[in-house]
A = this chain, B = another copy of it.
Amino acid sequence: MYIKKQRLLTPGPTPLYPPALHAMMASDIHHRTEDFRKAYRACLAGLKEVMGTAHDVLLFASSGTGAMDATVSNLFSKGDKVVVCVAGKFGERWAEIAKAYGLDAQVITVPYGQVVRPEQVHGALEREPATRGVFVQASETSTGAAHDVEAIAAAVRPTQAILVVDAITGLGTMPLDIDGWGLDVVIGGSQKAFMIPPGLAFMSISPKAWKFADSATLPHYYFNLKKEKKSGDAGESSWTPATSLILALAEALQYVKQVGMPHLIENAQLLAEATRAAIRGLGLELFAAAAPGSSVTAVKAPAGMDSGVIVKEFRNRFGAIIANGQGSMKGQIFRIAHLGYFDFADLFAVIAELEIILNANGFPVSYGTGVAAVQRIYERAAVLPQTVAV
């Protein structure tokens, strides 16, 4: 017998920042009080600051999918022409939402593990100049691939279309110059690099996108961007907010600001680089080798081994919860996350555990090979601000 601490190591929900969790204990607060408005304003201002944008930022009590839904139902009208980039499960979700609301979508699909190239977006916009919106994932969580958001934005910016970016795992793992690149809507979720539980979504929205809200005719009620903007300006949410999560977010944002968004991104990039080095060192294959992002690294299971076995072994042997593939990738890949509140200690353990699991399941590796690869990357790492002791 040995102790197995349960550790949540998936690309969302991510490991929780403990002081943010503790902050939820102050939830016996009413949401129409000055005390709560202070926390709500701190969230809106903090999100603006760490997202690095002068655009408006709105918050919702919903999952990230809710904010995706909100964008479509508030900024578009039935029959609007749009371009949807599909490079995995979350791209497919954009396509589903567009279909649910009756948009006329030109869908650019690439195989899982690859990314939509900016030239493809450019071509789609040239083919259909009446296009009013382009939808893309910054980081496609299902595959670990990252889009070249800057170049895609350059293709969209000169057109009448707005660029809507699902940055739910992009924020905090890759640079996103919202105002400089012209990202019209950028969507995030609480349970990713923001280190708190699921239940909140947020978005930035550009002046160009706001104009779309004036003419859009799709029906909506709960998700109402204009109403939410007005409420937010008054330090409130339109409906009852998820107070506990707002308190957690306010606390987590303090930490993110203290670390600094560039350092948070650097942390993810370093851990991603170290993960890739370890995987290659162990003779395994990266899934999204052409455009690997820093939120999560997808790894192909060895030939003849179901990735579900690896995931199960992590849990049963070590109490570590890591992610299987999603959708059609289930059983094919497993995913090692490094967005938000992850550190090298987490990665050392995961890689050491992986080595044991591989050895035990017919894929012999030399113990320590992968860990050493992580250690070598660590040697080169910039010294990051000290994280809190927990």
**Chain A residues proximal to chain B, CB less than 8 Å:** 6-8, 10, 12-13, 15-16, 21, 24-25, 27-31, 33, 61-66, 69, 72-73, 78, 96-97, 100-102, 189, 191, 197-199, 218-223, 239-245, 315, 321, 323
Task: From B31, B199, B221, give the contact of A245 (CB < 8 A).
Answer: B199
Task: Return A242 CB to nearest CB of chain B, in Å.
Answer: 4
How distant is the Cα of A200 from the Cα of B168 in the complex, in angstroms? 21
Number of copies: 2
Residues of B within 8 A of A6 (CB): 28-29
Known: A78-B219, A100-B219, A198-B240. 6 other contacts (CB 8 A): A6-B29, A13-B28, A13-B29, A65-B239, A73-B219, A199-B245
Residues of B within 8 A of A245 (CB): 199, 242, 244
Q: Given A31-B198, A199-B245, A321-B33: A12 and B220 within 8 A (CB)?
A: no
Residues of B within 8 A of A31 (CB): 13, 198
What are 25 sample pairs from A and B whose C-beta atoms fall under 8 A apart? A6-B28, A6-B29, A7-B28, A8-B28, A13-B29, A13-B31, A21-B25, A21-B27, A61-B63, A61-B199, A63-B222, A65-B239, A65-B240, A69-B222, A97-B221, A100-B219, A101-B221, A102-B219, A197-B243, A198-B240, A198-B242, A199-B243, A242-B242, A242-B245, A244-B245
Give the 4 A-B CB pairs with smallest separation, nearest first: A199-B242, A100-B221, A63-B240, A8-B28
In this complex, what residue of B is CB-closest to A22? B25
Q: Given A27-B197, A29-B8: A243 and B66 within 8 A (CB)?
A: no
Residues of B within 8 A of A97 (CB): 221
Residues of B within 8 A of A64 (CB): 240
How distant is the Cα of A7 from the Cα of B321 in the complex, in angstroms? 38
Q: Given A64-B240, A65-B239, A239-B66: A219 and B218 within 8 A (CB)?
A: yes
How distant is the Cα of A30 from the Cα of B64 in the complex, in angstroms? 16
How distant is the Cα of A6 from the Cα of B34 in the complex, in angstroms? 14
**Chain A, interface SS category:** loop
CB-based contact A243/B25 at 8 Å:
no
How distant is the Cα of A102 from the Cα of B7 in the complex, in angstroms? 48
CB-based contact B321/A221 at 8 Å:
no
In this complex, what residue of B is CB-closest to A27? B197
Task: From B33, B69, B240, B244, give the contact of A24 (CB < 8 A).
Answer: B244
How distant is the Cα of A197 from the Cα of B242 in the complex, in angstroms? 7
How distant is the Cα of A25 from the Cα of B189 in the complex, in angstroms? 20
Task: From B16, B66, B189, give the contact of A28 (CB < 8 A).
Answer: B16
How distant is the Cα of A63 from the Cα of B321 in the complex, in angstroms? 29
CB-based contact A65/B16 at 8 Å:
no
Task: Return A238 CB to nearest CB of chain B, in Å.
Answer: 8
Task: From B29, B198, B220, B241, give the contact of A241 (CB < 8 A).
Answer: B198
Task: From B29, B102, B240, give the contact of A12 (CB < 8 A).
Answer: B240
Task: Return A275 CB to nearest CB of chain B, in Å.
Answer: 19
Residues of B within 8 A of A321 (CB): 29-30, 33
